[in-house]
A and B are shown apart, each in its own frame.
Chain A
Amino acid sequence: MKTVQQQYEVGRHPDLPPPLVERGVVKWVRDNFFSDATSIVLTAVALYFLYKVVPPFVEWAFVDAVWNADHRNECRARGEGACWAVLRARIAQFTYGYYPAHLYWRVNTAFVLLFVALAPLLFEHVPGRRYLLWFSLAYPVLAFFLLWGGLGLEPVESAKFGGFLLTIVIGVTGIVGSLPLGILLALGRRSRLLIVHTISMVFIEFVRGVPLITLLFIASTLLNYFLPPGTYFDLLLRVLIMVTLFASAYLAEVIRGGLAGIPKGQFEAADSLGLGYWKSMRLIILPQALHISIPNIVNTFISLYKDTTLVVIVGLADPLGISRATLADSKWQGLSTEIYIAIAVFFFVSCFAMSRYSLYLEKKLHTGH
């Protein structure tokens, strides 16, 4: 490797490009695929795996796929590929459930406004952020009337809700409703008052100790027993209550983590200013604690959002509930793989986007802004 060295005056040595074998495609390929014996074996195994998996899948999902057909048999008659026609036929139900078709505009409006309400919460540099925040606060009420009707709008029963609409309703209600409760529980668990501490702790540990499905069963079988005689909550409302309680326990732990991350000096500073407990919490401690917990709150939201699929087990018509109904239809029987893959893609895209956002927040926090 010895080369004739060009001599330079001391302190005048220019920046040279690395030797040929140390740069460009050659180096990249060698470092990434053939750096040592293990790497070569891994490359071979990986290539074999991709060869075995990717071409058949592409063939099934795209090349041989049928996009347009009236029923399953028509798909099968045309080939062995995926029968995506089922999605085309049922797209409205997967999106809106059994919501009346002439009122879709209300759902769409609520959905678009959701992003308007979220924007000032998610990004700091939104024009008119101060006014938008008031809108965010009013949004839940607005969305309630848009979706369920009332105030002159044609009412729609909960039972008509379904598809991804239901997923988003449960997810958003769960996280919005659980935030105040979660904050109270987190403060309670850190409290020095024994009874308050114990109640919060028992609640949090109980909810985190049992699977969500058992809580949903309580919602579907037991909750009406606990209500005063004569009152009746519909299933969606009961599920929303349980999901909110469930999320609040997890959120409480996240916020408790945020509180623990606040330096002791901040508490002392707040005390030395003579602020009372609630004022110092509201003005000094909580804003900081919530700020550093935002990435984890987003993560909690992602898992809550994924967990909304469980409501199919108590009979709500979320995307999986719609797929059950679809698969029971003799026209589309046996297409579960296609339907599940499509729903999986939907969840993957939305959750992946959210987790990227939470990573972005975490990076921003670490750089101090």
Chain B
Amino acid sequence: MTTATAIFPNPLRWALGLWRDQKHRGTIIQIMALVALLLFIGIIIRNTAINLQALGLEIGYDFLTEPANYDINQHLIDYNSLSSHLRATAVGVINTALVSVCGIILATVIGLFAGILRLSKNWLVNRIMYAYVEFGRNVPVLLQILLFHALIIHTLPHPRASLSPMDGVFLSNRGFYVPQPVLEPAAWAILAALVIAAALAWWFAGHAKRVQENTGRHYPVFTINAALIIGLPLLAFFLAGRPIGLDFPQLKGFNYQGGMVLRPEFTALWFALSFYAGAYIAELVRAGILAINRGQTEAAYSLGLKPNWTMRLVILPQAMRVMVPPLISQYLGLIKDSSLAIVIGYMDIVATIGGISLNQTGRALECMSITLFIYLSISLGVSTVMNWYNRRVSLVER
């Protein structure tokens, strides 16, 4: 009996033995997970193949070079309805990038202001900012986009009766018309001046640091550099004979000619995204500053540091560590939220390749895979930057 089991071990017991062994159990689970995953992918591929065959479709990306046959009203690169789907996608990517970058800048400005004012001891200002933050965070961003769009479309007048808060700026329900800068050849002088000013400012900052380390003398680096960077290009502008002109919009018929137009869709999306993300950023800023223990301020004060230096040397460097990672997530969220552009007809990635191109060609699989790929690349890029930053600034602890 015993010899028999030794030669032909009970397979069940043998399996149970493997299962009870911690190391082998891990391996078994892994293999099972892998098989399940492969099976799942296999079934999906098979289903898709059968379904596509039934519909007489084939997977292929050739359609990208065919004419798109639709118009896009806002394009920063050449585009017309005869351009390819690929070009339409590029226009979509650029439009997403444009509204995201503008949105991130405006949201940061709004968030910083609102966050700092939220910490103000002034009761009235504090309450107003509180109301803003709570409204911004508790109303769906899609609704905010629609609201801003409705406000622009329904409360602003027709182009003929448009509001003009300052010379050359016209607000109407067809868009915001602003003067467009026109560069003349001599404009390179201004660019050169800017580069020189930046280089000088960089050198001066280094010089000031050396002087301070050697003699203890402090220069007002920020003021001098700001003057340098603004002043030098301004000087060049006048010396070169004002090579930048402005093209003012003018009412011709039912609409404006010339100038630059911010279309209602762009403006609504831009404002709504900034307004929404700004509310979250305001809370980040507030939380970041509050996260710094009161003792830090007291310690700095008791050493004789002035309030503004305490802010710059002690509070901000610490608050930045707390604030930057969630801030970057917020930016990523804003980029993803810009995909809601489609509800008001702003032509971003989703509206071009994921929307009209998809509907016109019926190539859902291809179009969605391209859309997903673009967003995933953006997300991956942003999180790489964030990990790098986190590694760089993480506090050394015992």
Contact = CB atoms under 8 A, between A and B. Distances in A.
A357 interface: no
A214 B339 contact: yes
Given A43-B124, A195-B34, A206-B376, A214 B150 contact: no
A212 B340 CA distance: 9
Contacts of A226: 44, 47-48
Contact of B122 (A42, A194, A218, A310): A42
B376 A209 contact: yes
Interface in A284-335: 302, 306-307, 309-310, 312-313, 320, 334
Interface string A199-212: 10000011011111
A163 B131 CA distance: 27
B142 interface: yes
A213 B350 contact: yes
Residue among B37, B140, B146, B154 with the highest chain A CB neighbour number at 10 A: B140
Interface string B115-147: 001001111110010000011011111111011
A12 to B, nearest CB: 33
B132 to A, nearest CB: 11
Interface stretch (A70-78, A102-110, A125-133, A347-355): A347-355
Interface stretch (A15-23, A45-53, A142-150, A257-265): A45-53
A122 interface: no
A340 B146 contact: yes
A225 B147 contact: no
A307 B340 CA distance: 11
A35 interface: yes
Chain A interface mostly: helix
Given A33-B123, A39-B122, A226-B44, A210 B376 contact: yes
Interface string B11-55: 000000000000000100110011001000001100110111010
A229 interface: yes
A344 B143 CA distance: 7
B333 to A, nearest CB: 9
B142 A210 contact: no
Nearest to A60: B155
A320 B146 contact: yes
Interface residues of A, number: 57
A28 B146 CA distance: 41
B147 A347 contact: no
Interface string B373-384: 001100110010
Contact of A214 (B51, B52, B120, B371): B371
Contacts of B142: 309-310, 312, 320
Contact of A43 (B125, B138, B364, B383): B125
A196 B34 CA distance: 8
B372 A214 contact: yes
A209 B333 CA distance: 9
Contacts of A43: 122, 124-125
A337 interface: yes
A199 B147 contact: no
B378 to A, nearest CB: 8
B30 A35 contact: no
B229 interface: no
Contacts of A209: 375-376, 379-380
Nearest to B53: A229
Contact of A340 (B147, B340, B354, B365): B147
Interface of B: 26, 29-30, 33-34, 37, 43-44, 47-48, 50-52, 54, 117, 120-125, 128, 134-135, 137-144, 146-147, 150-151, 153-155, 336-337, 339-340, 342-343, 350, 354, 358, 364-365, 368, 371-372, 375-376, 379-380, 383
Given A46-B125, A344-B143, 6 more contacts: A35-B121, A196-B29, A209-B375, A210-B372, A320-B142, A337-B151
Nearest 4 A/B pairs, CB to CB: A209-B379, A32-B123, A351-B138, A306-B140
